[in-house]
A and B are shown apart, each in its own frame.
Chain A
Amino acid sequence: MRPSRRHVLTGLSATLLAPRRARAATVTDAAGRAVPVPPRVTRVFPAGPPAAILLYTLAPDLLLGWPRANRAEECEFMLPDVCRRPEVGRITGRGNTANLEVVLALKPDLILDVGSTAPTFISLAARVQEQTGIPYALLDGRFDAIAPTYRKLGELIHRREAADALARYAEETVATIRKRVDAIPAERRPRVYYARGPRGLETGLGGSINVETIEFLGARNVAAERRGGLAIVSVEQALLWNPDVIVTIDRDFAANVRRDPVWSAVKAVRDGRVHLSPKLPFGWVDFPPSVNRLIGLWWLAKILYPEQFPEDLRARTRDFYRRFYHVALGDAQIDAVLAGRG
């Protein structure tokens, strides 16, 4: 059945009038949706891991739970009581594990989603908001958008000042690193292979979110000739690429590659430039794709361009964990993080 003209007109006028009426109390999210700002926010449901981490850094008290329960070794690097909050599932990403009735039973004032603003997730946000009647904000999870994302979240949960402080830290980090990297001529930028999986043969193609940090730092991703997401490559191809630096998140691969006769032909292995990414409590280079990767920028920058980045990484780490994760790290803890434990 076609909608009658009157219905269309009513709907149209509602759309036209709504922004004027609600202007004082809405925030436009990254998808361009006007999200009503709850008058008082005490409980926020994170739709996925990036949202949970972002919210934890700004307002740990509001976090209702985690998409997946954290492990004990991760809780050493967070506020213990917040870290141990229950597993509540995820709404977005690959498959829902959260039941909307459970979401409703938790009585959140706001549902927060951080990540892709593709039409899939915009429509998901609209549908969940309509079904639950709870404001659902979809914020941009890209690296460049960290500062505006913090500021929007600050408005939504009435924590503008704290959000602004974190946003400024992110802006300064990004600006400082970008300025120094821009001054490095292309031929002095190392060719990097990003290795995942126990055999190190999963890699991120050009433009994939997995290599966003590596590409942000101007390194030449050897797999970037093809654009896409994750892919498998053969050992032969890795040998042919012969990267200057290998960055990996896999501890088995990092440990075995130095003894592996096949990989010993690769320049990065010969030069001892295979680096295992720190990952406590959240990964530094790849996932979850949230603000946890900010500190990873400094780590990677020092690996790729040691001369241009003389800063003390330990001091930076301590500072970042205090500001974002609300913990004061001891020396042994910093050692554990930098060794890639977890």
Chain B
Amino acid sequence: MTRSAAPGMLIALAVLIAGLLLAFTVGRYPIGLGELFQVLAAKVTGGTAAVPAAVENVILQVRGPRVLAAVLVGAALAVAGTAFQGLFRNPLVSPDILGASSGAALGAVLGIFFSLGVFAIQAFAFVGGLIAVAAVYMIGSAVRSRDPILVLVLTGVVIGSLLGAGVGLVKYLADPYNQLPAMTFWLLGSLAATGVGDLVPLFGPVALGTLVLFALRWRMNAMSLPEEEARSLGLPTGPLRVVIVAAATLVTSASVATAGIVGWVGLVVPHIARTLVGPDFARLLPAAAILGGGFLLVIDTLSRTMAAIEIPLGILTAVVGTPFFIWLLASVSKTWS
């Protein structure tokens, strides 16, 4: 590593902090900066803020949890994307490559189909994502091949489209007046309903998965080398791959269960992070997490402030992500090496 990563990290942090400041101060419910600081100060010192209960409510119960959830989901997707792109040595890979999103989507639409409660739907989505990736991994490993990575990716694509067909079937059978709109909204991704209660089931898996990935940062550097080279370094590539996939899947499934399908973050952000701090995972993972959190926070802030109705996250991230993806395709040979 020749260049210093410090400026890149600073840029990433600056984006996140600016995003946090912006996100807390703007929203559909008008709250003054003074009121915001009073409430936050009161929260820190344990006192009571001299503001209307509704204002305190909005900051602590509505906007606060949502801002935190946006940062967590964005960071999680970016970390998972970084891990998968490194593992598969492919810049066009995103966290749903092994079917985590498709599995979560099927779980969620089934939950809606059976008219379950909110937490049950989220649990279905989370478990659906885990099961899908486990199935892909088992099928992929059962097939003997000289290129296990390629087999894994292909299995992921095939199982992903099978699960997509499952989602289509459930939508087809759903009640068109009530369930179908709910499924459509879920698949577009939103943090509109996030409350304090959503933060623990999101934070737990995301923190666990991210810590595991960060602990493996040196090995992930070696895993980015061609398979033979990694083995020649004495790395147990098979078991390592299982752990990395499991950790990244945990992180992805938890975020998809909370926010629905939010594409692009896990694909685009790792590239920005790589241009900022270079390919070393020790720096890349934190940078991607910070940038991803900041990116989705900005997107979600737009989503909840642009209009009285919510703009789905999946739509906004795609609008931002597509031009970037095209640019990426055009210059892929230059940025990836």
Contact = CB atoms under 8 A, between A and B. Distances in A.
Contact of B307 (A198, A226, A265): A226
A169 B58 CA distance: 47
Contacts of B161: none
A219 to B, nearest CB: 18
A44 to B, nearest CB: 21
A49 B178 CA distance: 13
Interface string A255-285: 0000001101100000000000000000100
Nearest to A229: B181
A233 to B, nearest CB: 5
Interface in B223-250: none
Given A236-B58, A239-B62, A240-B28, A223 B309 contact: yes
Query: Which of B175, B178, B185, B195 has the most C-beta atoms of chain A within 10 angstroms of its own C-beta?
Result: B178
A291 B141 CA distance: 57
B178 A236 contact: no
Contact of B118 (A93, A199, A228): A199
Query: Which of B177, B304, B307 has the most C-beta atoms of chain A within 10 angstroms of its own C-beta?
Result: B177
Interface string B72-85: 00000000000000
A201 B62 contact: no
Interface string A205-233: 10000000000000000010110101111
B257 to A, nearest CB: 15
Interface in A93-117: 93-95, 97
A223 B62 contact: no
A234 B28 contact: yes
B309 A235 contact: no
Q: How large is the interface on A (under 10, 10 to 19, 20 to 34, 35 or more residues)?
A: 35 or more
A202 interface: yes
B117 A231 contact: no
Contact of A231 (B118, B195, B310): B310
A231 to B, nearest CB: 4
Contacts of A225: 308
Interface in B9-36: 27-30
A238 to B, nearest CB: 9
Contacts of A265: 53-54, 57
A253 to B, nearest CB: 10
Nearest to B182: A197
Contacts of B190: 232
Interface string B296-322: 000000001001111010000000000
Interface of B: 27-30, 53-54, 57-58, 61-63, 66, 117-118, 121, 172-173, 175-178, 180-182, 185, 190, 192-193, 195, 304, 307-310, 312
Interface of A: 49, 68, 93-95, 97, 196-199, 201-202, 205, 223, 225-226, 228, 230-237, 239-240, 249, 252, 261-262, 264-265, 283, 286-289
Given A94-B176, A198-B117, 15 more contacts: A95-B176, A198-B121, A201-B192, A205-B309, A226-B307, A228-B309, A233-B192, A234-B192, A235-B62, A235-B193, A236-B27, A236-B62, A237-B28, A240-B28, A252-B118
Q: Which 10 residue pairs are nearest across A and B when measured between Cβ atoms? A: A287-B177, A231-B309, A199-B193, A265-B54, A232-B310, A237-B28, A236-B29, A236-B28, A262-B61, A235-B62
